[in-house]
């Protein structure tokens, strides 16, 4: 199917909006746009980070998901207590596949669920005593933990428990960092505020711990990888490239990361931000307080990787710049082979994306390296600054949708007829039943890593095996197939 023109795309948006009641239509219209590369600022065409409409199917999460699920959860040597009823912790346990090295239950706790399991009496009488008891128990059962974080669920804010006081007391008793995080699910319009709250908690309770302590030997090449959650091993695939070019990665935030790494981050020379949406706050804080510059980088697909490696190297001396060139040259044969193998199979295929706060723009380069085209993209919880950065990455007259509703997404797909959709698990089966190949792009559909050169090879293979899977030809029932294919079946029988 040919690409839609600007007028057709605009008409499509109007058509989709038609079914809403007037008020909802007016509101949703602000969140849907046709990309115009000539715009410098996204706020001219799209509104983002607003409360979702009641009555529609939104795909967003909550502040607790942003803090426990994204930022704090992957810190492997701390125990993160899901403070409140049992469900929030249990249903978010290990779903993001943040890989780590260690012995679970002994010195790492990433895939375990710790919860205060609130009952009626805890709501009525308060849960502070229970929380204090839990922390003593944790110390007894898991003495090798390096700290505890308290991730608040909704009731904590509603009943007004003073978790900060409990944390301070526990901190004195167990002599390890105890971090209270006020990430109750009702705060904010999406998980995005949870990221911000989590960043602020790190700023207030962790970052200063080693101020004035100069015992950590630094080098001029120290960097921290910030906003890489090691999904399916992403951070490892990124880290090897940085180390090969001569940098020393002091900390990983927060995939496969430790609390000690976080405490040492203020000693680095440069912060490298992958997920801008969830961790730019702490990078900006470190820039102001410790004068550490930060840059955004993108490790999806060889074009963007080379661009990023050179951008990072430009901030260091010649040895690092030579190192970057060496790394790019070293992997060239590898990624050229990947492109040579998969590009002919994927060339010209059209993709629609709808992911969280970073990938809707970051993976575009990787698809383009494979000759594919992204014809629609949008964020669950992106802000204006994310859309600012997206406009230039996307082609003219492509669709952009913010906090898209289930209905809108389906209608867009029916009309645009993409060859592949990349979105979350809640969308996966709907679109597969519509007969459209789908990749779950939050945790890489149980695959990964997708970052770095190693990841690109896996990314290309996964896209090919999804898109060119023979099963898609079997989705249509025989009596709805057109004549020609029936004849073909008869001939081959």
Partner 1 sequence: MPSVMLKKNAEDKLVFYVPKKDLEEVAESIEFDSPDKWGGEVLLSDGSKYYFEPLDKQPDFPITLRAKRLDSGE
Summarize as ranges the residues that interact with partner 1 (CB under 8 A). 41, 49, 196, 281, 284, 287-288, 291, 383-385, 388
For partner 1, the closer of residues 173 and 287 by Cβ is 287
Q: How far is the CB of 301 from partner 1 (least distance, A)?
A: 24
Give CA–CA dist 8/77, Å, rounded: 53
For partner 1, the closer of residues 274 and 277 by Cβ is 277
For partner 1, the closer of residues 9 and 199 by Cβ is 199
Q: Which of 237, 253, 147 is nearest to 447 (CA)?
A: 237
Q: What's the DSSP call for residue 30?
A: T
Q: Give the Cβ contact number of residue 25 at 10 Å.
A: 15
Are 351 and 375 a contacting pair, CB within 8 Å? yes
Query: To the nearest 10°, the Cα dihedral for 362, 363, 368, 374?
Result: -100
Give CA–CA dist 321/252, Å, rounded: 22
Q: How far is the CB of 384 from partner 1 (least distance, A)?
A: 4
Are 157 and 88 a contacting pair, CB within 8 Å? no
Retrieve residue 484's tokens. 């020609």
Q: How far is the CB of 51 from partner 1 (least distance, A)?
A: 15
| Phi, psi values for residue 119, rounded to 5° | -115, 175
State the residue for tokens 């801008």: 276
Give the strand pairing for 294-296 and 114-115.
unpaired
Q: How far is the CB of 280 from partner 1 (least distance, A)?
A: 9
Q: How far is the CB of 386 from partner 1 (least distance, A)?
A: 9
For partner 1, the closer of residues 172 and 291 by Cβ is 291
For partner 1, the closer of residues 281 and 472 by Cβ is 281
Q: Is 217 exposed, middle or buried (0-12, 13-18, 19+ CB in 10 A)?
A: exposed
For partner 1, the closer of residues 34 and 282 by Cβ is 282
Q: How far is the CB of 292 from partner 1 (least distance, A)?
A: 10
Q: Which helix (H) or strand (E) holds 420?
A: strand 420-423
Burial 70-95 (b: 16+ CB within 10 A, else e): bbbbbbbbbbbbbbbbeebbeebbee
Q: How far is the CB of 383 from partner 1 (least distance, A)?
A: 4
Question: Can you state the angle between helices 234-244 and 452-467, rounded to 10 degrees?
Answer: 140
For partner 1, the closer of residues 388 and 445 by Cβ is 388
Spatial CB neighbours of 225, under 8 Å, sequence gap ≥ 6:
235, 238, 239, 242, 249, 251, 252, 253, 272, 274
Q: How far is the CB of 258 from partner 1 (least distance, A)?
A: 27
For partner 1, the closer of residues 49 and 53 by Cβ is 49
Are 75 and 107 a contacting pair, CB within 8 Å? no
Spatial CB neighbours of 52, under 8 Å, sequence gap ≥ 6:
58, 60, 189, 190, 403, 405
SS3 391: helix
Hey, which residues are catalytic here?
Answer: 62, 65, 96, 195
For partner 1, the closer of residues 71 and 138 by Cβ is 71
Q: How many CA atoms lie within 13 A of 163 on its CB side?
A: 30
Q: Which helix (H) or strand (E) holds 147?
A: none
Q: Which of 17, 15, 30, 24 is nearest to 53 (CA)?
A: 24
Spatial CB neighbours of 364, under 8 Å, sequence gap ≥ 6:
353, 374, 377, 393, 394
């Amino acid at each position: 199917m040919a690409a839609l023109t600007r007028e057709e795309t605009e008409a499509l948006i109007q058509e989709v909006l038609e079914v809403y009641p007037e008020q909802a239509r007016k509101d949703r219209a602000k969140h849907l746009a046709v990309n115009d590369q000539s715009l410098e600022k996204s706020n001219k065409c799209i509104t983002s980070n607003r409360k979702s409409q009641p009555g529609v199917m939104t795909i967003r999460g909550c502040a607790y998901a942003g803090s426990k699920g994204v930022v704090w959860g992957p810190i492997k040597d701390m125990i993160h207590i899901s403070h409140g009823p049992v469900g929030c912790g249990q249903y978010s346990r290990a779903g993001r596949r943040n890989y780590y090295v260690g012995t679970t239950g002994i010195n790492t706790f990433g895939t375990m669920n710790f919860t205060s399991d609130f009952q009626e009496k805890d709501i009525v009488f308060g849960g502070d005593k229970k929380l204090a008891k839990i922390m003593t128990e944790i110390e007894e059962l898991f003495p090798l933990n390096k700290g505890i974080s308290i991730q608040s669920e909704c009731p904590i804010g509603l009943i007004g428990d003073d978790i900060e006081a409990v944390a301070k007391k526990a901190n004195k008793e167990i002599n390890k960092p105890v971090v209270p995080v006020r990430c109750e699910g009702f705060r904010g319009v999406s998980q995005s505020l949870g990221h911000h709250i989590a960043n602020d908690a790190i700023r207030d309770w962790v970052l200063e711990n080693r101020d004035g302590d100069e015992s950590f030997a630094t080098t001029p090449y120290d960097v921290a990888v910030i906003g890489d959650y090691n999904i399916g091993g992403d951070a490892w695939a990124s880290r090897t490239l940085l180390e090969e070019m001569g940098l020393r990665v002091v900390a990983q935030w927060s995939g496969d990361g430790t609390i000690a790494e976080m405490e040492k981050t203020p000693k680095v020379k440069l912060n490298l931000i992958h997920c801008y949406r969830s961790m730019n706050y702490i990078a900006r804080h470190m820039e102001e307080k410790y004068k550490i510059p930060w840059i955004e980088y993108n490790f999806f697909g060889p074009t963007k990787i080379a661009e990023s490696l050179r951008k990072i190297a430009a901030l260091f001396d010649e040895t690092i710049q030579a190192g970057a060139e060496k790394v790019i040259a070293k992997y060239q044969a590898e990624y050229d082979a990947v492109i040579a193998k998969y590009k002919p199979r994927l060339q010209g295929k059209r993709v629609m994306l709808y992911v969280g706060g970073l990938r809707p723009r970051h993976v575009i380069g990787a698809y383009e390296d494979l000759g594919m085209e992204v014809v629609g993209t949008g964020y669950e919880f992106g802000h204006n600054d994310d859309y600012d950065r997206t406009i230039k990455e996307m082609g003219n007259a492509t669709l952009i949708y913010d906090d898209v509703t289930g209905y809108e997404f389906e209608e867009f797909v029916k009309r645009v007829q993409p060859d592949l959709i990349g979105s979350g698990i809640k969308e996966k089966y709907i679109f597969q039943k519509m007969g459209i190949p789908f990749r779950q792009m939050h945790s890489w559909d149980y695959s990964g890593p997708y970052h770095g050169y190693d990841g690109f090879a896996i990314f290309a293979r996964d896209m090919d095996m999804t898109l060119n899977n023979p099963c898609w030809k079997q989705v249509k029932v025989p009596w709805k197939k057109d004549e020609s294919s029936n004849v073909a079946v008869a001939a081959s029988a």
